[in-house]
Structures are given as C-alpha cells and as structure tokens.
Amino acid sequence: MESVTLGIIGCGAISDVYFEAGNRFDALDIVACADLDEDRAKSKADEYGIPRILPTEDLLADPEIDVAVVLTPAGTHGDLVSAALRAGKHAYTEKPLAATKAEGEAILETTDERGLTVGVAPDTVLGTGIQTCRDLIDEGRIGDPVGATAFWSNHGHEHWHPDPDGFYAEGGGPLFDMGPYYLTSLVTLLGPIRSVAGTANTPFAEREITSEPRRGERIPVSVPTHETAVVTFESGATGTLLTSFDVWGSELPGFEIYGTEGTLSVTDPNRFDGTPRVHLSDDDDGEWREISVERDHPGQQRGLGLVDLAYSLDSDWDHRTSGDLGFHVLETMDGIRESAEEGAYVELSAQCERPPSVPDGFPTDVGPAGDAE
C-alpha cells in the first residue's frame, strides 16, 4: 500500500513515540509538525528529520497531508479533531477522543457527513497481550464471562510529569487519563457496555508539583481524582472499575476477568505485550498458570493505531481503533461522572461493535527498525 502522509499537532512528551513510528512503519510518512512552542516543534523536526514546521492552521490546510495526528492536552482534542475534519483531513488522536460527550458527538457527526475516518488511542489493545487474552475468552478457556475488575491508582502525575496541569483540567483526571486503557480493553474482551454507575471524589483543591522544572508550583484541580464505577455489559457481565490519583499504595489485583470455569489475569493494558495467567476450575492443584503467547505481531509500539487507520483507508481492513469505539469509551466515562453527580445509573445511548480479533502478522510493513519492543 502507499504511505499515508501525516501532520503531527503537538510536540510534547508523547510525540516521540509517534515520530519513531513514522520511521518504523512503511505505511506512515510524517511530513510536517506543529506546536504552540515553535522551538519545541523545531527540536522534534530536527531530531526526526521532519521536513516542515507549520502553524496548526497551515498544517490543516495543507493538501499534501492525509491525516492530522492530535497529540495536544486532552481538553483540546475535541476542537482540533473537529477542525481537522472540517479541513477535509482524516484524524487520529491520543486518548480520550474529546473532553465531553457533546464534543465527541460532533466529531462523529462530521465524520459521517464528510466521509472521513477518525482513529483514537489507546492502540495497546492491538498488541499480543490483550489479543491473547481475547483468544482465551473466545476459546472458552474460562467459560462464560461473568464479571471483571480493573484497578489503577497512584498519587498523581505531579510527582514525575514536567507539566502535569492538563491531568487536573477538563478532559483529565485518572478516569479520562488511564480509564481508556482499561475500558477499551474491556470492550475488546467482553463487548459493548450498556449502563454505568459511578462515584467520584476530589480531596485536594490544589496539587503541589514535586517534579522538575516546576517544583514547588501549585496547580488547581477541576476534575475528580478518585473515581469508581460499576459497568454492565450488553452480554450481562458486570465490571468494577477504580481509577485514582489519591492512592499511596495498593495490593489490589490490576485487571481480571471472571468466568464460569475460571479466572483470567489480564495483561497490563498500558503495554502491548505481557503474559496472561489463568486459574481454572478443573486444575487439580489450584495454581495460577501462565499462558504462552503464540501470536506474532511485529513492531508493537505506540503509533500502531495509526497503521490500523492507514490500512483501513486503503483496503477493506477492519478499523479497530475507530472513532465509534473511542466515543463508546468517552460516553462510558462521561456517564460515570454523570452518575456520580446524579446518584443514579446511566444508560448509554451509543453502541459499538466489539472490534474483530487482530490477525497474526499485523502490521505487515515494518521497516528495519521495527522489531517488537
């Protein structure tokens, strides 16, 4: 297939893995980048050999660029993705799709009207870890899924991130930051979600940065930082989700699926690889057993979702990191916060299909630097 030309908007910390993806995957050709800080954009362009540095509006107007890649703070995703679509560009964005359900709805409406494609991170669900877990469920190794638990917690990004403000502004918080990894994986493993119930807490009105270079600064908190939820799937299975920036330490299991014939310990959804473990009802010694990963997916790294999108533009390839899936996750998170405010279950309005399994050998066009990480 011919390469898809990309323009990257946002040259912050996460952008490196996308610039590297442009060098590793033959399907991707990064031709321009933009950032509010022109020096930062120039630094990335020099480092990765990007031919042009453009203001965002010029990048979106450039007819050479097929896909706008949005890597800016979460609160800006909705506006920038919509602007890209209005400019006739396909778009791919870091998670979440947008900061609000209304922004997400506007994106899908524009996508349909203009016949364009939107892709959304996380793309870790395309890796061997989650895909092997899916294989085990589909093969019936743990019987019929009954429920799930997904727990992620720490004590905030201000302890390590150089600019943590966005994690505490609209579009941030632990649910919108880390929730997409777990919710996208849950939908991939168990299918779409029907309803949610949530609780939320914000114990600190401000956070003190202890990372460099802004150590000692205090930043406001405008989103919940400790969020829990019960999610009910269309299949009838239920799940418990916890995401928090207010936990100093925990011994809770990270991610498990419970079935009628056993339990599956799911791999870290923030990674592409990993080894699943199972605890089965017919195992006489009652031990956890590792399941060898037999899948062959070369070039596993962030940015693989862009290859997924590129394939879908040029063939009948099923788009697995789709805007529909991204919106379903967004509506789930929005519903959790709505439920926390209203004290009632929230029924989701939009359903997506469970993404198909990823075939072995994806991607097929990895360059010489594209060995699996």
pLDDT digits (tens, 9 = 90+) for 159-189: 999 889 999 999 999 999 999 999 999 999 9
Let me know if residue 217 belongs to a domain.
yes
Other beta carbons within 10 angstroms of residue 94's beta carbon come to: 23
Considering only residues 21 and 365, tell me which one the structure prediction assigns the higher pLDDT. 21
Q: Tell me which residue has tokens 């703070």.
A: 73
Let me know if residue 258 belongs to a domain.
yes
- Closest of 96, 112, 89, 83 to residue 309, by C-alpha: 89
Q: Domain containing 146: what range?
A: 125-290
Q: What is the CATH number of the domain that holds 225?
A: 3.30.360.10
Amino acid, single-letter form, for residue 200: A
* 372 has pLDDT over 50: no
Let me know if residue 216 belongs to a domain.
yes
Q: What is the pLDDT of residue 314?
A: 86
For the stretch 231-241, pLDDT in tens is: 999 999 999 99
What would you report as the CA-atom Rg of the chain, rounded to the nearest whole angstrom?
Answer: 20
Let me know if residue 356 belongs to a domain.
no
Let me know if residue 143 belongs to a domain.
yes
Let me know if residue 220 belongs to a domain.
yes
Q: φ, ψ for residue 97 (rounded to 5)?
A: -55, -40
Q: What is the pLDDT of residue 371?
A: 44
Let me know if residue 173 belongs to a domain.
yes
Task: Give the contacts of 270 (CB within 8 A, at least 6 positions apart).
Answer: 122, 124, 178, 181
The DSSP 8-state label assigned to residue 29 in this structure reads E
Let me know if residue 66 belongs to a domain.
no
Considering its fold, how many domains does the chain have in total?
1
Tell me the pTM.
0.95
Contact status, residue 276 vs residue 264, Cβ threshold 8 Å: yes
